[in-house]
Amino acid sequence: MLRIDCPYCGLRDHTEFAFGGDAARQRPDHTDTDFERWYEYVFLRDNPRGPGHEFWQHVHGCRQWLVVERDTLTHDIASVRPARDLRGKAAGR
Amino acid sequence: MSRQPNRLAAGGHIDRSRPLAFRFDGRSYAGFAGDTLASALLANGVLLMGRSFKFHRPRGVFAAGVAEPNALVTLRDGGRREPNIPATMAELYEGLSAVSQNRFPSLGFDLMSVNDRFRPVLAAGFYYKTLMGPRRGSWMWFEPFVRRAAGLGAATELADPDAYEKLDLFCDVLVIGGGPAGLAAALAAGRMGARVILAEQMPSLGGSLLDEPAGGPGDLWLAPVLAELGSLPNVRLLTRTTVFGAYDHGTFGLVERVADHRAAPGPGEPRQRYIVLRAQRAVLAAGALERGIPFADNDRPGVMLASTARGFLNRQAVLPGRQAVVFTNNDGAYPAAFDLARAGARVTVADARPALPAETIRRCAEAGMELLPGHAVAAVHGRSRVRAAVLAPFDASSAATGGPVREIACELVCVSGGWDPQVHLSSQRSVKPIWRDDIAAFVPGPPPAFQIHAGACRGSFATGDSITDGFRAGRDAAASCGRTRDPGSVGDIGESLGDAWATPIAPVWDVKPLNRSGKRFVDLQNDVSVSDVELAHREGYVSVEHLKRYTTLGMATDQGKTANVVALALMARLSGRSVPETGTTTYRPPYTPVAIGALAAAETGRNFRPIRRTPLHAWHERNGAVFTEAGLWLRPWYYPQPGEDVDAAYRREMAAVRRSVGMVDISTLGKIDVQGPDAGAFLDRVYVNGFASLPVGKARYGIMLREDGLILDDGTTARLSEQHFFMTTTTAEAAKVLAHLEWLLQAAWPELRVHVASVTDQWAAMAVSGPNSRKLIAAAGADTDLSNEALPHLGVRPCRIGGLPARLHRLSFSGELAYEIYTPAGFGEAVWQRLVDAGEPFGLVPYGVEALAALRIEKGHVAGSEIDGRTTLDDLGLGRMASRRKPFVGGVLRHREALLDEDRLQLVGLEPVDGTRRLRGGAILQPHGGPHRGHGLGHVTATTYSPERGHYVALALVTGGMRREGELLDACFPLNDEITPVRVIAPRFIDPEGRRLDG
């Protein structure tokens, strides 16, 4: 079981959270009509062995979406930040 | 009751004042409190406790505690019957009843032992060769025979009558193991003020100290330590508790066997307790387990590990044999030899090491033991029990025997091939064990995060060293939790416990046989022998993981605790590599078997998942509703009148709606409050159609897409004020939609000033439908103008109904004049009751979800069976809803090439060609008259009987959709062997112009 240090609620079991996918990708602007950019954003993703950025939502807590910097090999968590603070920059890039 | 021939008159940790009667294979025996089933059987002279897995060879107890491979029994009867319990772990209680396993018809006379004669056929890889061989049919022929002949005990098919519970715990320092190192660690950390939990799998604390003679130096050290630990309020001692798994971030899985040592749990007591523990630090002091040495017929009852024999002698005062041969390659077996001799046994020691110190030779002579350096046990005689051991001069480096052979009559052969530190909980954290030549064993690699290793489990075998090491580990663990108090010192260890090993171990992995007879077992539980390992090597298996799967070595209940390292070393020798080059298999949880019942704990039956009830639930119950599950919700399915089944009831309910008025509980709809200056702009981005332009006091049907352009959900959203919207979602997708909106607002568009909150549980909701719905609401006391002009279709307005607060949304799912009434949950039943009271003159009927679905199908409204995660707007004929003037989620990717294909599955209506035929949901649509192949042309998504049309109608997804209008198809329902010809028609079976909406 992972233990995630929610910036709002403190250290909690991962069973309180829901996984929300890759947080390293930057969602295109909502007015963007470029097909390729949307295609890449939705369908093309890396499957890294090692550190990566993931969305997790604290669904059974504060309901905040978080960006968790987690190593997929060791499960070490290097940082947990509110997703709203990372607006405009793709996490980890 | 029988006498106990192998029980000593004095000594041990048993309570002779508490005799216990028990039964094994139907016979009665006597033991004492403090016995295990294994020790009690041995005390009674019963050596034969099981039959081996594959060859049905007679087997006795071989190892201690959790490592026991042979003596597996089935405990208890009825719903409490539990198979595959090591007799060494079964604590004796009054009336215990156990039976042996894997024998037919009885343990003493087993017809299946004929398998032993077929050993050449049943060698390693038997399963693979028969399964994958040139003639697959051979497996079909063999399987029933193999399944019956090779196996463990059988589980009960009755429900488990006992309760299990789950406990969440937190601590600073978890100490794993209650032996000398663990106790010292708990003492240090406890004295420093850390919150300590110590878990010991056995019933008593002390570990290897309990193998020491009672009243000796072990007890002298143990007594004050246990007293002090018991007095520390910050130290919690858990016995009969196994730490079976080490998980991420300091999380551990434990199982406490609360009542396994009694016939049944006490009132209110769980049988077992599953503990999820989060620790800042764990001291791994799991100790080491002795391993064997393969020699010819080393599986005969009476052959056991030296420490096991010593444990029986000193814990339970059982002398397993009066004539004993001890075969060892290390100093660890000598305490057993000395204690056996002191208890009166005639002891011969065969030590594989050729040169032993004078001190050892002198002490053996003093004890009256014969010592044969440079010797091995090459074979034993006897079948159902050992009768003699064959000793031969032995060269440890080549494993060769040669020279003059001596046969020594004996009942007990104690063997020690060395000690394996229990690296499991370190290895489970992906830390590879490290091989140490000096002790010929693996020790844990560098401690993973959250762990500190101590004692025998890191190769520190002498008891005194373990205590010092454990104390250090406990101190370090507490210090890393910020505890700074001085723990003092560890106390007097006692001289004889401080002995380190004087002579290094000589690695011995097998003893070459003197002749061709006899099998040399590596893994007793799986009947894997040295020749099986050799066969695997000859057939090209080089990876230890492959060896394991090919031979089944290290599998089943004991997971090879006495076998794995021996097999690995044999394989290394065969392939000319070192042991570390050969590697080890990965250890995975659990360390010992865990009952699924314990993991499930209380989450079974009705407690498996929560139940959600609407604010109107009590009314439905009182009025005879039959309920159905919708996700977690319980919803009224239908309200039967006497003699009605579901078909009769829903047809009556829907007819009443079409004719007059009906009422349905829709409180389960997801309800989301959307507020803020940018709420309109936000909904414009979320829905395919526009909402910013929605006037206050109006509602609109909307559809949301996923990022990939497929439909996510639909529902109606009302504008209550300029900055306040009230969104509804489907019952099923409510949580997903809320999380989606929250993600968009927090991660994608945090600049939008909008808040969303779930208000599903805050509002009761009911739909009043039918031509008389307006009159009914007026009659119930609505204080507002309900005319089409004042409250038109899609109008929204607050009101009071008989003085109770409510909000009317003029929306229709049935196609009739209809209103949704929202009221705070606490008023739900009062408003509903008011409507019921006012409804009598109109013949108001409450209706359930069956009629709700039937009405929407008749009207052709799509729902979850059409919005199935694979359909697009165009698939459902809703493409025109998508705005061209604004961007929305999924708006670009919904134009993917594959989503524009004209041959996609698209929505159509169906009617049977023969109006008397029934249509069935899920039927596969095939070309009329055939050929009927595979997935066909599509499938029926929803059906209902249509009272208005007088026959069944259906919605369906068919390739090509409405281009097939008028075509005949076959609706195939193989479960009932039905083929029903149907005609494709428009998916709107009543009132296609929508004239009824205004009543």
Q: What is the DSSP string of B183-205?
A: HHHHHHHHHTT--EEEE-SSSST
The Cα B88–Cα B562 span in angstroms is: 14
pLDDT per residue over B791-803, tens digit each? Answer: 999 999 999 999 9
**Residue B133 clears pLDDT 60, i.e. is over it:** no
Please, are residues B98 and B87 in contact by the beta-carbon 8 Å criterion?
yes
- B276, A76: Cβ pair inside 8 Å? no
Categorize the per-residue pLDDT at B316 as very low, low, confident or very high, splitting at 50, 70 and 90: very high
CB proximity list for B773: less than 8 A, separation 6 or greater:
B661, B816, B817, B818, B819, B999
Q: Is B894 on the interface with A (CB under 8 A)?
A: no
Please, are residues B412 and B325 in contact by the beta-carbon 8 Å criterion?
yes
Average pLDDT over residues B660-682: 98
The token pair at B479 is: 């210090």
Residue with tokens 């039927």: B923
Give me the residue from B249, B746, B892 closest to A38, CB to CB: B892
Q: Is B606 on the interface with A (CB under 8 A)?
A: no
Categorize the per-residue pLDDT at B202 as very low, low, confident or very high, splitting at 50, 70 and 90: very high
pLDDT per residue over A45-68, tens digit each? Answer: 888 899 999 999 999 999 999 999
Q: What beta strand segments (E) does B852-967 contain?
A: 905-912, 924-927, 938-946, 951-959
The total number of residues shown for chain B amounts to 999
**Residue B449 clears pLDDT 90, i.e. is over it:** no
* Chain A closest-CA separation from residue B748 CA (Å): 7
pLDDT at site B15: 96
Average pLDDT over residues B245-274: 96
- Chain A CB contacts of B883 below 8 Å: none
Categorize the per-residue pLDDT at B136 as very low, low, confident or very high, splitting at 50, 70 and 90: low
Instruction: Please give the angle made by the CA atoms of B970, B976 and B978, to the nearest 5 degrees.
Output: 25
CB proximity list for B163: less than 8 A, separation 6 or greater:
B265, B269, B270, B271, B602
- A59, B739: Cβ pair inside 8 Å? yes
Give me the residue from B248, B742, B892 closest to A57, CB to CB: B742
Looking at residue B237, its amino acid is L
Q: CA-nearest residue of chain B to A86?
A: B747
- A33, B887: Cβ pair inside 8 Å? yes
The Cα B764–Cα B761 span in angstroms is: 7
* Chain B closest-CA separation from residue A39 CA (Å): 7
Please, are residues B563 and B572 in contact by the beta-carbon 8 Å criterion?
no
- A82, B250: Cβ pair inside 8 Å? no
pLDDT at site B118: 67
**Residue B730 clears pLDDT 50, i.e. is over it:** yes
Q: CA-nearest residue of chain B to A41?
A: B707
pLDDT at site B839: 96
DSSP per-residue letters across B626-654? EEEEETTEEEEEE-PPTT--HHHHHHHHH
H/E stretch holding B779? helix B773-779
Q: Is B739 on the interface with A (CB under 8 A)?
A: yes
* Chain A closest-CA separation from residue B253 CA (Å): 10
Q: Is A16 on the interface with B (CB under 8 A)?
A: no
The Cα B752–Cα B745 span in angstroms is: 7
Strand partners, B436: B441
Average pLDDT over residues B392-405: 92
CA distances from B652 to B645, B647, B916 (A): 11, 9, 19
- B751, A87: Cβ pair inside 8 Å? yes
Q: Is B276 on the interface with A (CB under 8 A)?
A: yes
- A39, B889: Cβ pair inside 8 Å? no
Q: Which of B248, B274, B741 to mutate to test the interface with A (most CBs of A within 10 A)?
A: B248
pLDDT at site B143: 59
CA dihedral B473, B478, B479, B483 (to 10 degrees): -160
- A38, B742: Cβ pair inside 8 Å? no
* Element counts in chain A: helices (H) and strands (E): 1, 6
Half-sphere exposure of B668 (CA within 13 A, CB side): 21
Categorize the per-residue pLDDT at B113 as very low, low, confident or very high, splitting at 50, 70 and 90: confident
Please report the ipTM that was assigned to this predicted complex. Answer: 0.96
- A38, B746: Cβ pair inside 8 Å? no
Which SS3 state, helix, strand or coil, does residue B822 take? strand
- A1, B249: Cβ pair inside 8 Å? yes
How does strand B434-436 pair with strand B419-421? Answer: unpaired
- Chain A CB contacts of B446 below 8 Å: none
pLDDT per residue over B40-76, tens digit each? Answer: 999 999 999 998 888 889 999 999 999 999 999 999 9
- B747, A2: Cβ pair inside 8 Å? no
**Residue B84 clears pLDDT 60, i.e. is over it:** yes
pLDDT per residue over B484-539, tens digit each? Answer: 999 999 876 765 554 556 789 999 999 999 887 889 999 999 999 999 999 999 99
- Chain B CB contacts of A80 below 8 Å: none
pLDDT at site B542: 83
pLDDT at site B434: 95
The Cα B305–Cα B288 span in angstroms is: 13
pLDDT at site B940: 98
DSSP per-residue letters across B314-340? HHH-B-S-SEEEEEESSGGGHHHHHHH
Order across the sheet with A18-22: list the strands.
Answer: A18-22, A51-57, A65-71, A77-82
pLDDT at site B326: 98
Give me the residue from B278, B685, B742 closest to A30, CB to CB: B685
- B747, A27: Cβ pair inside 8 Å? yes
The Cα B253–Cα B241 span in angstroms is: 10
**Residue B664 clears pLDDT 70, i.e. is over it:** yes
One-letter-per-residue 3-state SS of B855-881: HHHHHCCCCCCCCCCCCCCHHHCCHHH
Average pLDDT over residues B84-107: 90
Instruction: Please give the angle made by the CA atoms of B181, B33 and B52, to the nearest 5 degrees.
Output: 80
The ranges of chain A with pLDDT < 50 are: 90-93
H/E stretch holding B246? strand B241-246
The token pair at B368 is: 């009256």
Categorize the per-residue pLDDT at B148 as very low, low, confident or very high, splitting at 50, 70 and 90: low
The Cα B595–Cα B166 span in angstroms is: 13
The token pair at B324 is: 């004993």
Average pLDDT over residues B419-438: 94
Please, are residues B960 and B906 in contact by the beta-carbon 8 Å criterion?
yes
Average pLDDT over residues B582-600: 91
Average pLDDT over residues B749-757: 97
pLDDT at site B150: 55
Q: At what angle do helices B530-538 and B544-551 cross, to 10 degrees?
A: 120
Give me the residue from A35, A57, A86 closest to B739, CB to CB: A57
